[in-house]
């Protein structure tokens, strides 16, 4: 499709472990249109970060392998790109905000030096003079609503608060124009009010710059606020996808229903009372539906066979035998 | 930052005073009368008594220490029994040779440890890494004086292409003494023949001293680099499309260098210790060889001087190391966390 920016097809990502392959991402399909904001929702450990780091190919290739799948960016497969072509995508097309702002900043360089490096090695601004680069950095810092940008640029990460570091990470992702922004749970580590500010800021900036957005989050509530369309992910599978309105009006998959029932807990096991149990073991995952061990409406067939993804209406798909 | 430096200097001064007290006590505890030793067994008793008075040996120990330390600060360590000259004259003659050797050796291990560490991290688990791993086991296991003897055997007897003894060939006119480092002095005066000849004399003992520290540091750097390569901040800059080389040499090397610098400081200190043997093997007229001779001859003044000077050098190296670490790591420099 002309309008499609990113199209992930049947992507599998496995990690090598000493006990065997952890088959984390299990054949997912996900696309993002130009200017579209997409939510990717699922509980901790379901493979959201793994999927998106594969898009930029930043996982350690000694540990992570991609046995199958395509990641088409403007119809070119990122997984097959040569180094130079891949660098072009990284430099000017896609940027990703890390899940952990504290770990994402190098402790021994100033914030300014880290932002300047992104500018210096970008495609658009590599010929800028030093002072032009600096004023661009200052402007970007202002954009993320940080007062006193000059002081912040000269600070080291450990001198800044968590919320500040999160804003810096957003600034880094937006300092050069990009077509697609992947935001990996920005604000999870922050208190609720700051988190809310960060989300509003992100939404405003993405809309202003007419970028596409993939918003990764644990919470359907956050996804509802920030996205046009929502993918629900469970244990490396996309279990349901629909327009935001449609999903909230007519949730189908038992896992989505569980998520709707209550606000998910961020870390640890089950999702509150909604769904009992834990994410399955990825080294020996369930043979059939990966949700089977926790599913309140499980049937006999679910144990042995994988539920195929079926369309229930235009744009609304679900992978569950209940709707087969 | 300034406060930090001043604090370190103060600590250093106290350590030097501590060392000096220790040495003073040891030198007074050993049997024998320094005045008698200085004058020889045949001197008349009244002359000895006179000298005892002059040397303040008739005063209580703390007062003696006060006079002794006052002298030490002014560079007066007394006379050497061995050379019959003031110890400070000997020190001025022999210290530059040791410093020249130690500096070149330090320079070698800093440069090559960095290069080898970077290469074996970048090509980890390939033959490059395997080769440096084997070399480093060998390099760490063999003591420097064994390397010295091996080098002497190879380049002194089997394949004599490099001079193996002394600081300068006899047919070369030495440059005038400015710093006392022959290589530096000959460069300053434009005497290139002397420069290259001095460098040739330096290289083997310097290699003997550098080889152990070099591989040890290369391994530490390699593992620090590999630890950090999976850090989120490296994945982030990779995602922004920064060139591999820039990430390796800048974003990865700087944080990984912090543990290596401390080890380099320690290695530099033990290098001065190892120089005791290596200087003797290469007949290098340095302070370490002088110290060994002093020990063999129970030349107390000379021993005290060598120990205090090495103590001061350790301290200076330590302060430099701390400064470099503070410069590398803002969390130390600026406090917090
Ligand atoms: N290097 C690795 N080796 C082995 N397993 C890994 C590795 N990295 C991640 N995993 C596993 O892959 C699974 C998915 O991890 P991922 O970080 O993608 O989840 P996530 O959906 O982003 O979770 P969260 O919401 O907590 O960020 C987890 O079970 C994790 O333990
Ligand atoms: S396929 Fe079966 S086990 Fe899986 S979610 Fe649907 S009903 Fe539950
Ligand atoms: Mg994650």
| CATH number (domain holding residue A208) | 3.40.50.300
pLDDT category at B102 given cuts 50, 70, 90 is very high
Q: Is A12 in the pocket of ligand 2 (CB under 6 A)?
A: no
Q: What is the distance between the alpha carbons of residues B217 and B257, in angstroms, rounded to a whole number?
A: 10
A293 within domain boundaries: no
User: Cβ contact (<8 Å) for A172 and B236?
Assistant: yes
DSSP A314: T
Which of A101, A104, A111, A124 would best serve as a mutation to test chain B binding (most B beta carbons within 10 A)?
A104
Q: What is the pLDDT of residues A67-118, one digit of tens each?
A: 999 999 999 999 999 999 999 999 999 999 999 999 999 999 999 999 999 9
Q: Is A46 in the pocket of ligand 1 (CB under 6 A)?
A: yes
| pLDDT computed for residue A267 by the predictor | 44
Specify burial of residue B101 (Cβ count, 10 A radius: 0-12, 13-18, 19+). buried
Strands (E), chain A: 4-17, 20-33, 37-41, 64-73, 76-77, 94-97, 180-184, 212-217, 229-234, 237-243, 309-313, 316-319
pLDDT category at B13 given cuts 50, 70, 90 is confident
Average pLDDT for residues A221-240, to the nearest whole number?
Answer: 94
Expressed as residue numbers, the domain containing B204 is 94-288
| pLDDT computed for residue B168 by the predictor | 83
A129 within domain boundaries: no
| pLDDT computed for residue A264 by the predictor | 46
Q: What is the pLDDT of residues B245-267, one digit of tens each?
A: 999 989 999 999 999 999 999 88
| pLDDT computed for residue A262 by the predictor | 59
Task: List Cβ neighbours of B100 (8 Å cut-off, separation of 6 or more).
Answer: B180, B181, B182, B183, B184, B202
Residue B337 has pLDDT above 70, yes or no: no
Q: Is A17 in the pocket of ligand 1 (CB under 6 A)?
A: yes
B263 within domain boundaries: yes
B32 within domain boundaries: no
Q: What are B294-297's contacts with CB under 8 Å, separation 24+? A: B294/B80, B294/B82, B297/B81, B297/B82
Residue B35 has pLDDT above 80, yes or no: no
Residue A263 has pLDDT above 60, yes or no: no
Residue A121 has pLDDT above 70, yes or no: yes
| pLDDT computed for residue B161 by the predictor | 81
- Cross-chain CB nearest to B241 (options A98, A121, A158): A121
The answer to whether residue A237 neighbours chain B at the CB level (below 8 Å) is: no
Q: What is the distance between the alpha carbons of residues A302 and A282, in angstroms, rounded to a whole number?
A: 18
Q: In ligand 2, which atom is closest to the CA atom of A292?
A: 3
Q: What is the pLDDT of residues A17-59, one digit of tens each?
A: 999 999 999 999 999 999 999 999 999 999 999 999 999 999 9
A168 within domain boundaries: no
B294 within domain boundaries: no
Q: How many CB atoms lie within 10 A of CB A93?
A: 18
The answer to whether residue A96 neighbours chain B at the CB level (below 8 Å) is: yes
| pLDDT computed for residue B257 by the predictor | 94
The answer to whether residue A108 neighbours chain B at the CB level (below 8 Å) is: yes
Using CA atoms of B225, B231, B235, B236 in order, give the dihedral in degrees to the nearest 10.
-120
Q: Is A291 in the pocket of ligand 2 (CB under 6 A)?
A: yes
For residue B242, give the CATH number of its domain. 1.10.3720.10
Show which of residues 143-202 on chain A sit within 8 Å of chain B, judged by CB atoms. Answer: 156, 158-159, 172
A259 within domain boundaries: no
Residue A269 has pLDDT above 50, yes or no: no
| pLDDT computed for residue B67 by the predictor | 85
B25 within domain boundaries: no
- The pTM of this model reads 0.85
pLDDT greater at residue A10 or residue B275: A10
Q: Among A31-40, A138-147, A252-261, name the most confident range.
A: A31-40
A106 within domain boundaries: no
| pLDDT computed for residue A1 by the predictor | 57
% of chain B surpassing 90 pLDDT: 32
Q: How far is the CA of A281 from the centre of ligand 1 (A)?
A: 12
Residue A270 has pLDDT above 60, yes or no: no
User: Cβ contact (<8 Å) for A103 and B231?
Assistant: yes
pLDDT category at A275 given cuts 50, 70, 90 is low
Q: In ligand 1, which atom is closest to the CA atom of A42?
A: 21
HSE-CB of B62 using CA atoms within 13 angstroms: 0
- Cross-chain CB nearest to A106 (options B233, B238, B336): B233
To the nearest whole number, what is the mean pLDDT of chain A?
Answer: 90
> Which residue in chain B has the smallest CA separation from A54?
B239
B314 within domain boundaries: no
Q: Is A234 in the pocket of ligand 2 (CB under 6 A)?
A: no
Dihedral over Cα of A14, A16, A22, A24: its sign = negative
Which of B122, B123, B233 would best serve as a mutation to test chain A binding (most A beta carbons within 10 A)?
B233
Q: Is A47 in the pocket of ligand 1 (CB under 6 A)?
A: yes
Contacts of A122 in chain B (CB under 8 A): 240-241
Dihedral over Cα of B245, B250, B253, B256: its sign = negative
User: Cβ contact (<8 Å) for B246 and A117?
Assistant: yes
pLDDT category at A195 given cuts 50, 70, 90 is confident
> Which residue in chain A has the smallest CA separation from B257?
A108
DSSP A307: P
- Chain centroid to CA A221: 16
- Chain centroid to CA B244: 36
User: Cβ contact (<8 Å) for B334 and A95?
Assistant: no
Q: Is A251 in the pocket of ligand 1 (CB under 6 A)?
A: no
Length of chain B as a residue count? 337
User: Cβ contact (<8 Å) for B331 and A156?
Assistant: yes
A5: three-class secondary structure by DSSP: strand
Q: Is A298 in the pocket of ligand 2 (CB under 6 A)?
A: yes
- Count: domains in chain A: 1
To the nearest whole number, what is the mean pLDDT of chain B?
Answer: 87
pLDDT greater at residue B159 or residue B40: B159
% of chain B surpassing 70 pLDDT: 98
Expressed as residue numbers, the domain containing A86 is 4-93+178-241
Q: How far is the CA of A14 from the centre of ligand 1 (A)?
A: 10
Which listed ligand is nearest to A41 at the C-alpha?
A: 1
Residue B232 has pLDDT above 50, yes or no: yes
A17 within domain boundaries: yes
CA distance A315 to chain B (A): 31
- Cross-chain CB nearest to B254 (options A87, A88, A108): A108
pLDDT category at B78 given cuts 50, 70, 90 is confident
Q: Is A22 in the pocket of ligand 1 (CB under 6 A)?
A: yes
Residue A268 has pLDDT above 50, yes or no: no
Cβ proximity of A151 and A94 under 8 Å: no
pLDDT greater at residue A261 or residue A134: A134
Q: How far is the CA of B319 from the centre of ligand 3 (A)?
A: 43
A268 within domain boundaries: no
B169 within domain boundaries: yes
pLDDT category at A274 given cuts 50, 70, 90 is low
User: Cβ contact (<8 Å) for B330 and A158?
Assistant: yes
Residue A175 has pLDDT above 70, yes or no: yes
- Count: domains in chain B: 1
Task: List Cβ neighbours of B83 (8 Å cut-off, separation of 6 or more).
Answer: B90, B302
Contacts of A58 in chain B (CB under 8 A): 235, 238-239
Residue B331 has pLDDT above 70, yes or no: yes
A81 within domain boundaries: yes
Contacts of A105 in chain B (CB under 8 A): 233, 236
pLDDT category at B162 given cuts 50, 70, 90 is confident
B102 within domain boundaries: yes
DSSP B127: H
B1 within domain boundaries: no
């Amino acid at each position: 499709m002309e309008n499609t920016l990113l199209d992930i097809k049947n992507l599998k990502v496995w990690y090598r472990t000493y006990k065997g392959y952890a088959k984390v991402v299990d054949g997912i399909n996900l696309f993002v249109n130009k200017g579209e904001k997409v939510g990717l929702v699922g509980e901790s450990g379901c493979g959201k970060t793994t999927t998106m780091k594969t898009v930029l190919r930043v996982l350690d290739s000694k540990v992570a392998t991609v046995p199958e799948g395509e990641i088409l960016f403007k119809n070119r497969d990122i997984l097959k790109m040569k180094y130079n072509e891949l660098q072009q995508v990284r430099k000017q097309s896609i940027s990703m905000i890390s899940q952990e702002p504290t770990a994402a900043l190098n402790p021994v360089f100033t914030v300014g030096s880290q932002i300047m490096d992104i500018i210096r090695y970008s495609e658009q601004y590599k010929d800028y003079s030093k002072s032009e680069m600096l004023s661009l950095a200052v402007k970007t810092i202002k954009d993320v609503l940080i007062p006193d940008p000059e002081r912040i640029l000269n600070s080291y990460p450990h001198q800044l608060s968590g919320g500040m570091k999160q804003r810096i990470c957003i600034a880094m992702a937006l300092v050069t124009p990009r077509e697609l922004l992947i935001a990996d749970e920005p604000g999870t580590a922050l208190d609720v009010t700051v988190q809310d500010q960060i989300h509003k800021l992100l939404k405003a900036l993405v809309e202003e710059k007419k970028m596409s957005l993939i918003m990764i989050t644990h919470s359907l509530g956050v996804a509802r606020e920030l996205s046009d369309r929502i993918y629900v992910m469970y244990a490396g599978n996309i279990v349901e996808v629909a327009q935001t309105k449609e999903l909230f009006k007519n949730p189908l998959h038992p896992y989505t229903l569980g998520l709707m029932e209550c606000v998910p807990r961020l870390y640890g096991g089950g999702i509150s009372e909604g769904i009992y149990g834990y994410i399955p073991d990825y080294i020996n995952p369930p043979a059939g539906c990966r949700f089977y061990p926790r599913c309140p409406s499980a049937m006999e067939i679910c144990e042995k066979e994988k539920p195929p993804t079926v369309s229930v209406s235009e744009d609304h798909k679900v992978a569950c035998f209940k709707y087969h | 930052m300034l406060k930090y430096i001043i604090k370190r200097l103060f600590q250093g001064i106290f350590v030097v005073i501590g060392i000096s007290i220790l040495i003073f006590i040891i030198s007074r505890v050993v049997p024998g009368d320094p005045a008698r030793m200085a004058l020889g067994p045949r001197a008349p008793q009244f002359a000895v008594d006179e000298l005892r008075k002059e040397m303040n040996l008739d005063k209580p120990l703390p007062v003696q220490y006060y006079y002794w330390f006052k002298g030490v600060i002014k560079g007066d360590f007394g006379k050497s029994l061995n050379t019959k000259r003031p110890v400070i004259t000997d020190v001025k003659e022999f210290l530059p040779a040791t410093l020249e050797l130690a500096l070149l050796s330090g320079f070698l291990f800093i440069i090559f440890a960095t290069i080898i560490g970077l290469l074996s991290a970048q090509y980890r688990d390939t033959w490059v890494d395997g080769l440096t791993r084997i070399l480093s086991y060998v390099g760490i296991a063999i003591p420097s004086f064994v390397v010295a003897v091996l080098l002497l055997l190879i380049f002194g007897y089997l394949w004599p292409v490099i001079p193996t003894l002394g600081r300068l060939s006899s047919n070369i006119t030495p440059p005038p003494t400015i710093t006392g480092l022959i290589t530096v002095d000959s460069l300053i005066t434009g005497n290139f023949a002397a420069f290259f000849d001095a460098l040739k004399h330096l290289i083997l003992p310097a290699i003997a001293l550098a080889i152990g520290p070099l591989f040890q540091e290369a391994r530490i750097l390699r593992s620090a680099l590999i630890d950090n390569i999976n850090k989120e901040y490296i994945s982030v800059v990779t995602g922004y499309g920064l060139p591999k080389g820039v990430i390796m040499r800048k974003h990865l090397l700087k944080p990984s260098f912090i543990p290596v610098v401390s080890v380099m400081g320690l290695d530099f200190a033990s290098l001065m210790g190892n120089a005791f043997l290596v200087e003797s093997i290469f007949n290098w007229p340095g302070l370490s060889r002088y110290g060994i001779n002093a020990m063999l001859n129970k030349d107390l003044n000379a021993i005290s001087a060598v120990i205090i000077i090495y103590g001061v050098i350790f301290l200076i190296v330590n302060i430099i190391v701390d400064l470099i670490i503070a410069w590398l790591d803002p969390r130390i420099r600026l406090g917090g966390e």
